[in-house]
Structure 1
């Protein structure tokens, strides 16, 4: 009767299972050993057992730590006169003479075992430990400045509250943002419009305004928008293009930024659709390759949005205050004269303007510690932001204002602008 798959055959009470004799067992073991020692077929991976060969388990004797040895067994240790000290040799002679007369006492066996145990640290452990103790650095030697971790004062430690949150990286948060500030030196920009005979600042502002609508319609992260604008500026500073290709550059940088930031980025067809099929798939892919090659595939550009969230945490700013600073920062993307400003400095200026507007004080020592900027460093950028907010909004550039007038953004566009005298007083104080 055939056996059912998955079930083991059970022997009935009356059935007898024949036993193999010793010769048959040895032949079977030899056959298994010969089969195992045969060379594997060509191309097969090399076998590797995790512990021991199961088929030879009955022939292996394991010596586990802490297990007492039987009294009838003796361990023979090969020693030479050159490696064993004179004291150990005397003890070994004493133990051998006792064993010749009969069985050694328990105390003498324990003494001989202790001497064997003392031999191993002298050969393997004792010398390296002594070297490690002697290898302490001289008193005058110090770590280099770039490897030395600066202590954070307790009153300035804004990451202590997140000590249990691994995703916030509390031990390295300040070092991460200090590194991002250092990377800003690599991505400094200047006015590139003289190198673009077919473009002007108004065309760039229209493109950024359109990218804001794309980010809102696709529900993309704000980091994606900022990174796309940064990549557009860096590409335009190195590659002259015609005005008819400007929208293709913007949509392609948004595609690249989506791949870099988003969990589920839009596909190529989506960006072709928002361009009203003005470009083909081949043109967009070719532009993507051109942008990445021009930027040397280094697209991890520090953006002001990340710095703004970090610096707002220093003063425990509320969500409406942070959103007001984000509103100022997003409006600044369309300003050509604010484009060369570092992202960390621009974020600090937007936060300072928001704090003064909400009457929450000026630039505090904790902000100066984490940003590295004083009020005098931020004053020119703050005054430029203030002039930007005083200027009437153009009809073609209302995407940012329409976006931040919703309740989800606390309707920050309706917040009245601070008086200029109050702003200047805040900028004059240190």
Structure 2
């Protein structure tokens, strides 16, 4: 193979030509524009784009400087120009002094120590949060917590749930069923744990998968491609350092090609109209747990219940905020804590009677999870998650007293407590 060390780079040839041209023609100038090319006006790349030079601010106690043009009127003599300048400067000084005196009088008339009050229209005023329900004032010095907008943010997320109401789509999917979907969710939990992704990524990936399947029939061998691509999209949306496409090809055992993943990514975005900011239950759960002031062990137990609910198709149809409320209420009852205090009713917007029906749907899923799908159970059996998967669940009769204390419960046949 010939050596490339002796070759001269094109850049070096260009430099030598430039030097040779300077030696032959020392008075050579920069190349001019072509005759047909438009002339470009020279300017600085970063100029003052704030229009600050057009704004004149008059400060009290300072005289305005009148800019005098060199040639105001070519028909006047020099004496007339000087007289005109003197008169204009006197009038501007008098006006500035008058403005200063007026501002001083207004400042003296205003009460000391009281800032100016801006009148805001009534419909723009934010509702005041009662002091007993204020859980964000403790973070008023932390700008990253957004204490002024925390409740407004979650109220907005709750209002967006109206746009993402999910229906049971299995009747329109002849090639897949609820069991296949549960297997896919169990596999996504393993992917989230192996890649050490955020829990928000897992919940969003399941939401993207459900909403895509609700609008597009697929084949059985495409289900894993949809789930892995949804996890890729959710990683790009939530993660700081999302995995690459090659990582998902590896965990799929090279069952798909890179082009298939990219095509499915485009297809999911087009079907969902690029609106993938779907409210998820995990965010509501953390917010409600903070409002209730529960410990990290109770929150982890509620997270375990909420993650088990991802595999059940009936619970997937529930609103995320309502599902989070049901998981937290079941965790509070399991920990023998007050069921649904008024602060949770205020921040969630749900009464205990509205949450009760979802809790009754969640209870059998937690009592008897699928035997062959153990990813979530083994995950929350670790000491990092306080081994909450091995905690005994609350009895159904005790739970029913909390949900509807005025009625006597009827224990269903499936209500068997884990030991």
Q: 1:296 aligns to what?
A: 273
CA–CA distance in structure 1, aligned partners of residues 263 and 160 of structure 2: 28
Work out which of the residue numbers 43, 46, 49 in structure 2 matches 1:45.
Answer: 43
- Structure 2 residue 117 is the aligned partner of structure 1 residue 117: no
- State the Cα distance separating 1:76 from its structure 2 match: 1.6
Superposition deviation, residue 77 in structure 1: 2.9
Q: Is residue 424 from structure 1 mapped to residue 400 from structure 2 by the alignment? A: yes
Cα deviation for residue 122 of structure 1 reads 11
Aligned-partner SS, 1:354 = helix
- Structure 2 residue aligned with 1:143, among 111, 122, 144? 122
Partner residue in 2 for 1:311: 288
Alignment-derived partner of residue 78 in structure 1: 88
Deviation string 1:156-190 (CA, Å, 9 cap, x unpaired) is 00001101000000000000000000000000001
Cα deviation, 1:179-203, whole Å, max 9, x if unaligned, reads 0000000000010001101010000
Runs of at least 5 residues in structure 2 that lack an aligned partner in the other structure: 1-38, 49-59, 66-81, 106-116, 407-419
2:300 is aligned with 1:323: yes
1:423 and 1:48 mapped to 2: Cα distance? 66
**Is residue 375–residue 429 contact of structure 1 (8 Å, CA) maintained in 2?**
no
Cα 1:178–1:113 change in 2 (3 A) is closer
Mapping of residues 258-269 of structure 1, within 5 Å: 258-269=235-246
Q: In the alignment, which residue of structure 1 is the partner of 2:252? A: 275
Shift of 1:66: 5.3
Determine whether 1:214 maps to 2:191. Answer: yes
**Aligned 8 A contact 1:307 1:344 in 2:** yes
TM-score normalized by the length of structure 1: 0.71
CA separation of 1:65/1:121 partners in 2, compared to 1, >3 Å: closer, same or farther? closer
Conserved 8 A contact 2:308-2:376:
yes
* Distance in 1 between residues matched to 2:46 and 2:306, nearest whole Å: 60
Instruction: Please state whether the residue corresponding to 2:197 is helix, strand or coil.
Output: coil
- SS in structure 2 at match of 1:227: helix
Give the 5 Å matches for 1:19-58: 42-45=40-43
| Alignment size in residue pairs | 329
Where does 1:92-111 land on structure 2 (aligned, <5 Å)? none
- Matched with 1:187 is 164
Measure, in 2, the Cα distance between the counterparts of 1:43 and 1:250. Answer: 54
Query: C-alpha displacement at 1:148, in angstroms?
Result: 3.4
Q: Distance in 1 between matches of 2:329 and 2:358?
A: 10
Structure 1 segments (4+ residues) deviating >3 Å: 46-50, 64-67, 112-124
CA distance in 1, matches of 2:378, 2:315: 21
Matched, 1:338 2:315: yes
Per the alignment, do residues 44 and 205 of structure 1 end up closer, same or farther by CA in structure 2, a change over 3 Å counting?
A: same
The 1:48–1:323 alpha-carbon spacing in structure 2 relative to 1, beyond 3 Å, is closer
Per the alignment, residue 352 of structure 1 pairs with: 329
Q: Distance in 2 between matches of 1:242 and 1:187?
A: 24
Q: TM-score, normalised by structure 2?
A: 0.73
Question: 1:391: how far off?
Answer: 1.7
